[in-house]
Amino acid sequence: MSNITDQTLSEIIRNIKSKKLSSLEVTNAFIERSEKSKKLNVFITENFTSAIDQAKKFDETPNYELKLPGIPIAVKDLFCTNGVKTTAGSKILKNFIPTYESTVTQNIWNQGGILLGKLNCDEFAMGSSNETSFFGNVQNPIGENLVPGGSSGGSSSAVAANLTPVTIGTDTGGSIRQPASFTGTVGLKPTYGSCSRYGIVAFASSLDQAGPMSKNVKDAAILLEVISSFDKKDSTSINFKRNKYFEELTNNIKGKKIGIPKEYRVEGMPDEIENLWNKGIEYIKECGAEVIDISLPHTNYALPTYYIVAPAEASSNLARYDGVKYGFRSPGKNLIDMYEKTRSEGFGEEVKRRIMIGTYVLSSGYYDAYYLKAQKIRQLIKKDFDEVYNKVDAILTPSTPSSAFKIGEKTDDPVSMYLNDIFTVPVNLAGLPGISIPAGLDKNGFPLGLQIIGKPFDEQNILNIAYSMEEKINFKNKISDWWI
Amino acid sequence: MTIDLKTVKHISKLARISVDEEKANKLANDLNSIFEFIEKLNELKTDNVEPLTSIAETKLRFREDQIKSENIREKILKNSPDENKDFFVVPKVVE
């Protein structure tokens, strides 16, 4: 049997069910490797002692009917975990201990999962490189001083470095798919309304979705099946018939129609990405699917629209951090002074920048020109997708316009950082499901991803397409354990 | 359109985030480059477009108004930045 931490989730589950491995052996293996991997800085909070206790408990009375029998899992530190510190990567929440559990993490524990720890992320999930975290940069296991993507950078790094079998991230504009692409892993953002937002620290409520991150498509399907549920506690949770994503996973995509949007051939995109995309198209044809050229005419407007809608919602959501009931407080000479100092010292630069953008576009006299305008264009972007989905079943694009970049390379220029999300943002604006799968390496040996975008609630279809492409691509990540 | 220092200070007041002179200058620069990028939206005519306010076409659900006490008062107060067992404490607001 191969090294425990090298195994995929489905292999570990099989080995636990056949009693070749105990939950404790698996849990210890991931803890031992994590202890040797501090340099990556993926954990904000370790939950190792408690995880060992729970693993022992599982082994005493194992229930192999569960979907995640005794599986240790680390999660992004944006999910509230009852009694375990939840920081959202921010100084303002550095000591916050929730008194409730997010629905998606509860779903994982209900199926036998064990909390291994809380993973680093950009502050309030605002960032594309994990460089805005109060708890420091995360290293990409692909290479030293390389960003792991963001905002779910601790999550992507932890999966790629084999520190957790799978994880969950959140995706507001690409925060699952972009880091997955940067680390050679799989990341899926479900349809808006599939996974409950209850107990997730809110960034932009009309865009936020939780989703699985994993080493392969099969594992993503297993985890999606666990976390996707209708939840009364989230007013935007949607009650639809969910597939048994893992059981129904098939590599038969014969006759499926896949759209290739011409607007995603953006200026200045490296040839390597263009070539990878073309290769992806060939693979899809080999799988028996039909490739159709399509147009999504408002693609170019998605990013500016996002940078109105998301900050506007964020400025409103983050109004709650005032230093009164929880979190960091900076003393002031009166109440207002306390608010202003608390927020000035408690939030990092990027978060403050976005709160300011949001406050401005919602302020009197500017609302119509910016916020209302953006909502209208969001409608046009959604209609683009509605229209092409009359002709195609899914869409294939690159996941990102570049591979992972160096730490510090883009921190001085917010707009160049925002451009990272150019291919992922339209999917959030339209509320669609999207998955990024590793598809090749660039000349430096850094992974590149392809994205498959689906119809609303059609996660099964994009999983199937990803699954059949994965077989053809046969991707191998080059990770040397340089940090150990 | 440009965002000047005065506007930055006005927004920071609205957002309840204090900024010093140096930070205000940097913010003005950043916001200007971001809004320059956002101005692209003005290319599109949107007079007859309905704004998209919610992607999930769901009606808000009603529920019974029930008391669900979990007796977590102590745990909640433990998160309070000011040490006090009974209340949240803020600076004096009434003279």
Closest CA to A196 of A186, A208, A187: A208
Q: Are strands A186-189 and A114-119 parallel, antiparallel or unpaired?
A: unpaired
Supply B34's token pair: 């971001």
Integer angstrom CA distances of residue A32 from A3, A53, A77, A116, A334: 12, 15, 21, 12, 49
Confidence of residue A445 (pLDDT cuts 50, 70, 90): very high
Q: Are strands A290-294 and A257-261 parallel, antiparallel or unpaired?
A: parallel
Residue B58 has pLDDT above 80, yes or no: no
Number of CB atoms found within 10 A of residue A246's CB: 18
> Cα(B16)–Cα(A319) distance, rounded to whole angstroms?
9
Nearest to A326 among B34, B79, B91 (CB): B79
Q: How far is B28 from chain A (nearest CA, A)?
A: 10
Supply B54's token pair: 């919610």
> Cα(A59)–Cα(A40) distance, rounded to whole angstroms?
30
Question: Which chain A residues have a beta carbon less than 8 Å from that of B39?
Answer: 304
CB contact (8 A) between residue B91 and residue A333: yes
Closest CA to A318 of A122, A40, A63, A92: A92
Task: Check if the beta carbon of residue A246 is closer than 8 Å to that of residue A464.
Answer: no
Model pLDDT for residues A299-312, shown as the tens digit of each residue: 999 999 999 999 99
Mean pLDDT of chain A: 96
Catalytic residue among A155, A157, A175, A237: A175
Nearest to A334 among B16, B82, B91 (CB): B91
Model pLDDT for residues A381-421, shown as the tens digit of each residue: 999 999 999 999 999 999 999 999 999 999 888 888 888 89
| A158 against B53, higher pLDDT | A158
Catalytic residue among A23, A76, A91, A410: A76
CB contact (8 A) between residue B11 and residue A328: no
pLDDT confidence of residue A108: 98
Supply A159's token pair: 């999966």
Q: How far is A231 from chain B (nearest CA, A)?
A: 11
Mean pLDDT of chain B: 89
Question: Which chain A residues have a beta carbon less than 8 Å from that of B79?
Answer: 95-97, 99, 325-327
pLDDT confidence of residue B1: 60
> Cα(A386)–Cα(A426) distance, rounded to whole angstroms?
13
Model pLDDT for residues A98-127, shown as the tens digit of each residue: 999 999 999 999 999 999 999 999 999 999
Question: Which chain B residues have a beta carbon less than 8 Å from that of A347?
Answer: 17
Supply A384's token pair: 């683009």
Integer angstrom CA distances of residue A183 from A139, A149, A159, A230, A333: 10, 8, 9, 31, 47
Nearest to B81 among A328, A356, A382 (CB): A328
Task: Name the A residues in 224-253 with CB < 8 Å from any B CB.
Answer: 232, 235-236, 238
| A434 against A416, higher pLDDT | A434
Closest CA to B4 of B31, B43, B42: B31
Integer angstrom CA distances of residue A282 from A260, A289, A307, A396, A467: 12, 10, 34, 11, 15
Domains plus CATH for chain B?
Answer: 5-43 (1.10.20)
pLDDT confidence of residue B77: 92
C-alpha torsion A268→A271→A273→A275, nearest 10: 140
> Cα(A114)–Cα(A31) distance, rounded to whole angstroms?
12
CB contact (8 A) between residue A415 and residue B53: no
Residue A255 has pLDDT above 80, yes or no: yes
pLDDT confidence of residue A411: 86
A94 tagged catalytic: no
Average pLDDT over residues A241-267: 96
Closest CA to A80 of A64, A66, A97, A60: A97
Q: How far is B17 from chain A (nearest CA, A)?
A: 4
Tell me which of A266, A357, A384, A429 to substitute to probe the interface with B (most B C-beta atoms closer than 10 Å). Answer: A357
Tell me, yes or no, if the pTM score tops 0.90.
yes
Supply A301's token pair: 């407007």
Task: Check if the beta carbon of residue A444 is closer than 8 Å to that of residue A426.
Answer: no
Tell me which of B6, B18, B93 to substitute to probe the interface with A (most A C-beta atoms closer than 10 Å). Answer: B18
Model pLDDT for residues A138-161, shown as the tens digit of each residue: 999 999 999 999 999 999 999 999
pLDDT confidence of residue A269: 85
A325 tagged catalytic: no
A76 tagged catalytic: yes
Residue A469 has pLDDT above 90, yes or no: yes
| A33 against B57, higher pLDDT | A33
